[in-house]
Structure 1
Amino acid sequence: MSVWLPSAPCTPGACVEEGRGSAAAVPRAVLRLTLVATLVLAGALLSPLGGRIPAGWVRRWCRAVVRAAGVRVRVTGTAPPTGGLLLVANHISWLDIPLLAAVRPARMLAKTEIRRWPVAGALAARGGALFIERDRLRALPATVAHIAGELRAGAAVAAFPEGSTWCGRAQGDFHRAVFQAALDAGVPVQPVRIRYLRLTGGGTSTAPAFVGDDSLLASLWRVATARGLVAEVEIRPTIPPGTHPDRRALARAAQQDRAPEPCWTHAALVA
């Protein structure tokens, strides 16, 4: 199996909370999705401007997309505003993408399948996403070299080293391949921890999770009909270059502060 293509045990039926919205939630959800679509379309129209758009505007737009979906955003910590940087985060939802870009605009490492997504695929391509063929092991050295070249040139590159989405209670290991690019380029690594919480009652919410054979439309609707969701983005201290001897140690350092919870069954989640 490719290092880019690990498997996760999380599935919609076993791990993901179903919405408990009433009939009144439907018009609110429609409004939210309309706002999300409007913001994404605006981003697609402006994306040809590329680097001419101020980074602060990009960050605000990314947060606005998440807020439009009805999810509050809490960010703690800061990332270096310039210079080559590898941003790495755990992966739960499609919401992770704008959340990570809100930390610092970056070239997103994405699977080639995303290129085929309607609107979002074109937006990702115009935004400079680095698409990888996850099922081609022979492409790994060239992919790592390409990422390292972007980092040396002073770009920020964002990646989800788990290689697959998890429900948020369970989490996967950070795979090492992308960290080799940071070592080769001699740039720092910026770990980011993403969690989705309930505003009332506290605790982790799996409603935003986009796992297994879940469809993007079903995930969008589940998020839009949910109430009281909070995205917590914790920007951890930067790992300077030269502090770890190899990619295994660097990957371990980037994820060592995480404390995964057990993957609960759907029955336990909704009880």
Structure 2
Amino acid sequence: MGRVEGKVALITGGASGIGLSSATLMAREGAKVVIADFNVDSAQEAAAKIKSEGGEAVGIFLDASQEASIEEAVDFTVKQYGTLKVLFNNVGVTNLRKDLDVVNMDLDEWDRIMNVNTKSVLLGSRFAIPHMRKAGGGSIINTASMAAFAGDSVRSAYGASKAAVVNLTRYIAAQYGKDKIRCNGVAPGLILTPAAKQSMPPAVLDIFAKYNALPYHGEADDIGHTVLFLASDESKFITGQTIQVEGGHYMANPSIADFNQFLAQA
């Protein structure tokens, strides 16, 4: 207990999945948490559950596509709790129907994804950093993706937006490290959030399982615990890094699963 005792954290996209896990874990470890989400009812329900378990949290509305809404979320956090020490930029969007290959993608969707996935990280950090300076430092954590590190047949805009998040993380870390502000990213692979469980057919999950080094899929808490670590002083000498949490899916020769199957049948 107490790994982030006394810290104030703003978590965007915090009403479900990875954001909710991170908010819950931080609150259990002593942080005061602001859960900002487009689904404000779910954000408030999440905050109420945290408070019922003895934590401190509040849920607010956030439209991560709007600069003013991001600024308001930061300002609310500081007014509510007096400071800001942790920012988890976690909002992200994707669209498998419109974000296709480079020739066929919807260009308006490219702009929307870049605006939400990348610009919201820039703006959240832009508004949070002055408060962190006043507080004597802080930790910014950005949700990237393994899509930033590998090509794919679709989701070109999503992959590009997350690659930008990885490098923006380095730039923020380089520019504000002397202010004791750290900036790191976390890059999930396939994580079985409620949304993923609803949208992923069993056959697709089987494909991912085949190529994972580990014999199971990731859960939201696997990312939440990584975020908690990056928010805590346990990671005080880590900055500019993006931690890949993906079950070893991307680390090996891509043919290894098929080759192992061949050897087993030989």
Same fold (TM over 0.5): no
Normalising to structure 1: TM-score of the pair?
0.38
Q: Relative contact order (alpha carbons < 8 A, sep ≥ 6): 1 or 2 greater?
A: 1
Normalising to structure 2: TM-score of the pair?
0.39
